[in-house]
């Protein structure tokens, strides 16, 4: 962290009008002192966006310098048939319903073969919780992928998928995760977290794995030597207090395990689901949320703007609000957000496009691996 950045950031804060409640928070941030949940709520409720951007950028550059990261990845969504019926979901179908799909293991292997032409280093696997799939089937899937490309990083199966599949197999969490690890699983994604508050969960995802169970599964994954990501669904019926409660749960677990690589705020998209009447929050609200997350989650090293959900222009803007990771190339391999009305219906970005986006905001593009090791600076 350069003295110039500390000085210029502090000078900016001194030049703007701050309430008595906000200045102590800024002082904490510049002194490297952890802010409290109450501080985070104040930032959400009272801070101007420019102020948040300065603080979040300061934290991001203190942790990761002026680098902005990406990887070469693609998604496999093996099915959208799901035992759950979450109100916010535009993706889920019943078996036999129009639009439902199941990818066979042979089809999955073909997708992996195609990805090798573009030198993909990671496959991200998540989908519906299929009623017939247990941990043995998930292990078969991982082994099938590794049989095609032994070197690819398999980031697979949300805590919600794992919860059902491991329980169906009659195993403990640790036993199920060990089986997957032996089959070649390298890490897990952060999906299914939604929002911590139990009353809200009853409304938007009542049958889904509880927040406490989600944390328990990630703790078990970390205990078995694997890393994961964390997410939060925002922009629906939650309050700022709900967001802070959610992030505080993640921060506490990270203090214990250190196993989260990144935090990914996921914006509620309103098309083609039963919560469409709510609408969507603004891009300014997106940026506020990124900034507060970066300031609050001082122990989670990376903050990701998932561009297929946000859109490319908003993801670029987020690089000024604490984000240091733009996810990856995707290669038109995910339908979850396109089915919910995301602006890019065929999400894909070339390396050149990602690097140009990053350079345009004064950052240095770096290709990373799935564990955030730097592979190449562009």
pLDDT, tens only, 162-178: 999 999 999 999 999 99
**What pLDDT was estimated at residue 340?**
45
Contact indicator for 297, 29 with CB cutoff of 8 Å: no
Tell whether the model's pLDDT for residue 182 goes beyond 80: yes
**What pLDDT was estimated at residue 261?**
98
Tell whether the model's pLDDT for residue 150 goes beyond 70: yes
| pLDDT digit string, tens, across residues 237-293 | 999 999 999 999 999 999 999 999 999 999 998 887 878 889 899 999 999 999 999
**What pLDDT was estimated at residue 177?**
98
Band (342; pLDDT cuts 50, 70, 90): very low
Tell whether the model's pLDDT for residue 114 goes beyond 70: yes
Share of the chain above pLDDT 90, in %: 82
Band (35; pLDDT cuts 50, 70, 90): very high
Contact indicator for 294, 56 with CB cutoff of 8 Å: yes
Tell whether the model's pLDDT for residue 343 goes beyond 80: no
**What pLDDT was estimated at residue 17?**
56
Domains and CATH numbers, the chain: 3-63 (no CATH), 71-371 (3.20.20.70)
Mean pLDDT score of the chain, rounded to an integer? 92
Q: Determine the Cα–Cα distance for residues 147 and 333; give it in Å rounded to an integer.
A: 20
Query: In a 10 Å sphere around its CB, with 0-12 CB exposed, 13-18 middle and 19+ buried, how is residue 213 labelled?
Result: middle
Band (331; pLDDT cuts 50, 70, 90): confident
Q: Determine the Cα–Cα distance for residues 266 and 97; give it in Å rounded to an integer.
A: 27
**What pLDDT was estimated at residue 371?**
97
The arithmetic mean of pLDDT across residues 290-316, rounded, is 95
Task: Give the up-direction half-sphere exposure of residue 55: CA atoms within 13 A in the CB hemisphere.
Answer: 38
């Amino acid at each position: 962290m350069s003295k110039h950045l500390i000085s210029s950031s502090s000078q900016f804060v001194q030049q703007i009008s701050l309430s008595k409640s906000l200045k102590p928070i800024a002082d904490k941030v510049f002194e490297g002192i952890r802010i409290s949940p109450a501080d985070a709520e104040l930032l959400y409720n009272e801070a101007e966006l420019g102020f948040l951007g300065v603080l979040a950028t300061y934290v991001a550059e203190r942790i990761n310098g002026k680098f902005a990261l990406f990887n070469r990845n693609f998604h496999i969504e093996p099915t959208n048939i799901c035992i759950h019926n979450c109100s916010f979901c535009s993706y889920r179908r019943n078996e036999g319903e129009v639009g439902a799909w199941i990818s066979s293991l042979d089809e999955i292997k073909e997708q992996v073969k195609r990805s090798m032409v573009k030198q993909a280093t990671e496959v991200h696997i998540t989908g519906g919780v299929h009623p017939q799939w247990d941990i043995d089937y998930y292990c078969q899937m991982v082994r099938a992928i590794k049989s095609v490309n032994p070197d690819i990083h398999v980031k697979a199966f949300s805590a919600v998928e794992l919860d059902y599949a491991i329980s169906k197999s009659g195993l403990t969490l640790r036993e199920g995760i060990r089986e997957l690890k032996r089959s070649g699983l390298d890490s897990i994604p952060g999906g299914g977290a939604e929002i911590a508050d139990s009353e809200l969960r009853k409304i938007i995802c009542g049958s889904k794995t509880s927040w406490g169970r989600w944390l328990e599964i990630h703790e078990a994954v970390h205990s078995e030597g694997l890393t994961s990501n964390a997410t939060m669904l925002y922009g629906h019926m939650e309050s700022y207090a709900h967001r802070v409660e959610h992030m505080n749960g993640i921060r506490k677990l990270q203090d214990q395990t250190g196993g989260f690589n990144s935090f990914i705020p996921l914006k509620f998209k309103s098309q083609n689901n039963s919560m469409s009447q709510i609408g969507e929050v603004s891009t300014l609200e997106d940026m506020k949320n990124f900034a507060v997350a970066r300031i609050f989650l001082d122990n989670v090293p990376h903050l990701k703007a998932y561009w297929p959900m946000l859109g490319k222009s908003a993801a670029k803007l987020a690089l000024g609000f604490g984000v240091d990771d733009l996810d990856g190339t995707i290669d038109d391999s995910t339908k979850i957000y396109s089915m919910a009305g995301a602006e890019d219906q065929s999400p894909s970005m070339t390396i050149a496009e990602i690097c140009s986006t990053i350079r345009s905001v004064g950052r240095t593009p770096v290709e990373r691996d799935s564990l955030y090791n730097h592979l190449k600076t562009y």
